């Protein structure tokens, strides 16, 4: 599957909408806590991918897995870190706090791709990153002032997500630039396996109710398995910083959904900062579209 640049952008927007549902759904869990929340979501992601991958790529997908390629393993580890850190962070602090922390992804990605891949980023992308950073700083400062006891540890755990994400998108770009034509979609499955096995012993004894398991099963399929596979496809077309910038939409959508669906009302400064982030994204892609169509 090969998308045009415009289609990849629109598809990534859809991916972020699906990603953003995790916060509001976890607020309806009744008994599951901590690592158990991640275990069930990763477990159902694993089951979903065991069905999705052969349906999409044929039964031969298992024989084509690049077990000996280090990119496959590095990518899988990155996915497992993102899966685990995100859900654990949501159990420690507010949805807005977690999503705000995720938004530093473009800064990490730009730095990593500049250092390791030598990417020359256009001025518009640097400006967008700076504006997004200001918006995130604004939101972060407002949440810090609330004195949430779980804010610090929750934010530190959440910080692992953008760091692993930056490495993940950079690995995808590097494998493409080296002409390896490596299919890293199955690395999402590997990440789910590592995350499930790694949090299994930490989840005992299980306390999740039937409602909890049902909600986490929905997250495993629609919030993780399907959008993460699609995101890998998009990353073959979009530059790594573009992917990270688009992923910032999860912040805006996620806060809005948590506010609407779980009554986690953000402060005015959070809304203003989120608007700045969204404006930076729109500016970057509008200028890019104009440049490509002049």
DSSP string spanning 1-38? ----HHHHHHHHHHHHHHHTHHHHHHTT-SS--HHHHH
Q: What is the mean pLDDT of residues 58-71?
A: 82
Average pLDDT, the chain: 83
Neighbours of 117 (CB within 10 A): 14
Query: Can you say whether residue 263 is alpha, beta or left, with left for phi > 0 and alpha for psi between -120 and 50 degrees?
Result: left
- The DSSP line for 165-232 is HHHHHHHHHHHHHTT-----THHHHHHHHHHHHHHTGGGPSP---HHHHHHHHHIIIIIIIHHHHHHH
Instruction: List own/partner pairs for 220-223 with CB under 8 A and 24 or more apart.
Output: 220/40, 220/41, 220/42, 220/43, 220/44, 220/45, 220/46, 220/47, 220/48, 221/44, 221/45, 221/48, 222/18, 222/21, 223/18, 223/19, 223/21, 223/22, 223/25, 223/41
Give me the pLDDT at residue 193, please. Answer: 94
To which H or E segment does residue 115 belong? helix 105-116
Give me the pLDDT at residue 100, please. Answer: 77
Is the pLDDT reported for residue 1 higher than 70? no
Is the pLDDT reported for residue 293 higher than 80? no
CB-count exposure of residue 263 (10 Å: 0-12, 13-18, 19+):
exposed
Give me the pLDDT at residue 62, please. Answer: 85
Residue with the bigger pLDDT between 151 and 47: it is: 47
Instruction: Give residue limits of the domains in the chain.
Output: 5-58+67-293
Residue with the bigger pLDDT between 239 and 197: it is: 197
Residue with the bigger pLDDT between 155 and 20: it is: 20
pTM score: 0.81
Residue with the bigger pLDDT between 129 and 45: it is: 45
Is the pLDDT reported for residue 10 higher than 60? yes
Neighbours of 163 (CB within 10 A): 18
Give me the pLDDT at residue 277, please. Answer: 76
- The pair of structure tokens assigned to 43 is 């477990």
The least confident of 172-176, 206-210, 262-266 is: 172-176
Tell me the per-residue pLDDT of 140-195, one tens digit each, with 9 for 90 and over: 777 666 666 667 788 888 889 988 988 887 877 777 666 666 677 788 899 999 99
The least confident of 7-11, 140-144, 263-267 is: 140-144
Residue 85 CA neighbour count, 13 Å, CB half: 22
Kindly indicate the confidence band of residue 5, based on its pLDDT and cuts at 50, 70 and 90. Answer: confident
Q: What is the mean pLDDT of residues 117-138?
A: 78
- The pair of structure tokens assigned to 86 is 């995100």
Residue 61 DSSP label = G
Kindly indicate the confidence band of residue 240, based on its pLDDT and cuts at 50, 70 and 90. Answer: low
C-beta separation of 232 from 49 below 8 A? no
Is the pLDDT reported for residue 225 higher than 80? yes
Give me the pLDDT at residue 136, please. Answer: 74
Residue with the bigger pLDDT between 215 and 266: it is: 215
Give me the pLDDT at residue 211, please. Answer: 94
C-beta separation of 30 from 37 below 8 A? no
Give me the pLDDT at residue 59, please. Answer: 80
């Amino acid at each position: 599957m090969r998308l045009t640049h415009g289609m990849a952008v629109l598809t990534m927007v859809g991916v972020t909408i699906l990603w953003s549902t995790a916060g509001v759904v976890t607020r309806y869990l009744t008994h599951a806590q901590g690592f158990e929340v991640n275990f069930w979501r990763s477990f159902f992601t694993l089951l979903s991918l065991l069905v999705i991958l052969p349906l999409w790529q044929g039964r031969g997908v298992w024989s084509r897995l690049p077990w000996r390629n280090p990119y496959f393993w590095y990518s899988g580890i990155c996915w497992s870190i993102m899966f685990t850190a995100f859900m654990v962070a949501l159990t420690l602090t507010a949805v807005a706090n977690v999503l705000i922390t995720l938004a530093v992804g473009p800064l990490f990605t730009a730095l990593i791709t500049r250092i390791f891949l030598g990417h020359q980023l256009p001025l518009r992308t640097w400006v967008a990153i700076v504006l997004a950073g200001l918006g995130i700083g604004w939101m972060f400062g407002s949440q810090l002032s609330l004195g949430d006891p779980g804010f610090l540890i929750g934010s530190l755990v959440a910080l692992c997500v953008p760091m692993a994400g930056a490495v993940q998108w950079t690995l995808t770009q590097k494998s493409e630039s080296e002409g390896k034509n490596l299919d890293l979609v199955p690395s999402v499955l590997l990440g789910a396996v590592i995350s499930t096995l790694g949090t299994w012993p930490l989840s005992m004894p299980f306390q999740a109710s039937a409602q909890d398991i049902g909600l986490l099963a929905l997250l495993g399929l629609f919030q993780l398995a399907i959008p993460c596979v699609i995101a890998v496809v998009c990353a073959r077309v979009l530059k790594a910083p573009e992917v990270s910038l688009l992923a910032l939409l999860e912040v805006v959508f996620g806060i809005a959904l948590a506010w609407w669906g779980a009554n986690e009302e953000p402060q005015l400064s959070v809304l203003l900062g989120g608007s700045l982030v969204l404006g930076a994204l729109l500016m970057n892609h509008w200028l890019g579209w104009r440049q490509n169509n002049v």
